[in-house]
Homo-oligomer: A and B are copies of this chain.
Amino acid sequence: MASADDIRDTVRRYVEAVGSGTAADIVALYREDATVEDPVGSEPHVGHAAIRKFYDVIEPLERSSELFTVRVAGDSAAFSFRIVTRFGEQSFTLDPIDVMTFDENGLISSMRAFWSPDDMVTG
């Protein structure tokens, strides 16, 4: 099982990559057979190719991110963070809570993102 420190490190790198990395940077944190359910209740993306396609959408956007709280339990973590996307004068701020499981190397095995469109704040 990955250590709590390894898990915290992957979470920190994930939030950084979501805020300023490429889709490839993000996908490299996932296991090849990982699943991504974002938001919870939607059809999961399974495997690197599908996950890459999912994150390709945000790659060209002007973004920033901030990690708030991480809670590690066993091989899992829950964490709250902020992602801000900007289009010229307009910004979209979302503070999801994500839940992840990790393999023995600290790679993400599964991700589930808890948020709904109501949580999006425009400014």
Contacts and interface: CB of A to CB of B under 8 A. Distances in A.
A78 B95 contact: no
11 contacts: A39-B73, A40-B73, A40-B74, A41-B73, A71-B97, A71-B114, A72-B116, A73-B113, A76-B114, A78-B97, A80-B97
A39 B97 contact: no
Interface residues of A, number: 25
* Copies of the chain in the assembly: 2
Contact of A99 (B4, B72, B78, B115): B78
Nearest to A98: B78
Interface string A12-50: 000000000000000000000000000111000000000
Interface string A54-91: 00000000000000010111111111100000000000
